Amino acid sequence: MFSGIVEEMGAITVLGKTLTGTKLTVLASIVMGDLKIGDSVSVNGVCVTVVGKGDREFSVDVSPETLSFTTLGLLNPGRPVNLERAMRLNERIGGHLVAGHVDGVGVIRGRHQDANAIMLEIEAPQHILRYCVVKGSITVDGISLTINDLSDKGFSVAVIPHTAKVTTLGLKQVNDPVNLESDLIGKYVERLLQERGQLPKATISIDKDYLQKRGLI
């Protein structure tokens, strides 16, 4: 479990693709402090497990499933990434509860300056927007943000100067893809209401997009 408060920006040094998956090697400093093999770490909002560790870098395996649902497969050596170690239960939660299980990929459709903040307009899939509320929380590339506005196609967030400086959001431009994770609370509330018969159960639409994401066509 994470808080969505990025500890540092690292950089991809090696990206090795094989038939069984992908291995990423990440250059880092702050998160290396007490990181151990087997620990969970958030890379651009994706929870992955450390399988190798050196003095200044660590390695993780990324499954084909993760590659198909996140932006990790689009990374290449030299690209910066947001890093956060799993949180401790005895610490303050500066953001919100983040599982590191990406729900889908959004696309930045607008970027403009508003006083000292960068306003980002992000297009998002409907299965993510259903859990979004104005002033609620959402995770964008591993960063806990507050939804400022909401439409039927996406949402907007404000990125303060500190966040722009210490995360990759300060580098993001229009048409860049981003990993999105909805707030956990809405998902649990929906499931509980469904089990009590107070909401219809969600159905999966088996369409071309669904089949392509799973490599079936």
CATH number at residue 28: 2.40.30.20
Do 22 and 71 touch, CB atoms closer than 8 A?
A: no
Contacts of 4 (CB under 8 A, 6+ apart): 84, 94, 95, 96, 98, 137, 139, 142, 143, 144, 145
Residue 213 — pLDDT band, cuts 50, 70, 90?
Answer: low
60, with CB counted inside 10 A (0-12, 13-18, 19+), is: buried
Q: Domain check: are 76 and 140 in the same one? A: no
Q: What tokens were used for 103?
A: 């729900």
- Say whether both 110 and 162 belong to one domain: yes
- At residue 177, does pLDDT exceed 90? yes
Q: Identify whether the C-beta of residue 45 lies closer than 8 Å to the C-beta of residue 57.
A: no
Both tokens of residue 96?
A: 């919100």
Within-domain flag for 24: yes
Q: Within a domain: residue 18?
A: yes
Whether 114 and 177 share a structural domain = yes
Report the pLDDT value the prediction gives residue 209, as an integer from 0 to 100.
Answer: 62
Read off the pLDDT of each residue in 8-22 and give the average, rounded to a whole number: 87
| Pairwise CA distance, residues 102 & 82, whole Å | 14
Residue 214 has pLDDT above 60, yes or no: no
Average pLDDT for 4-21: 89
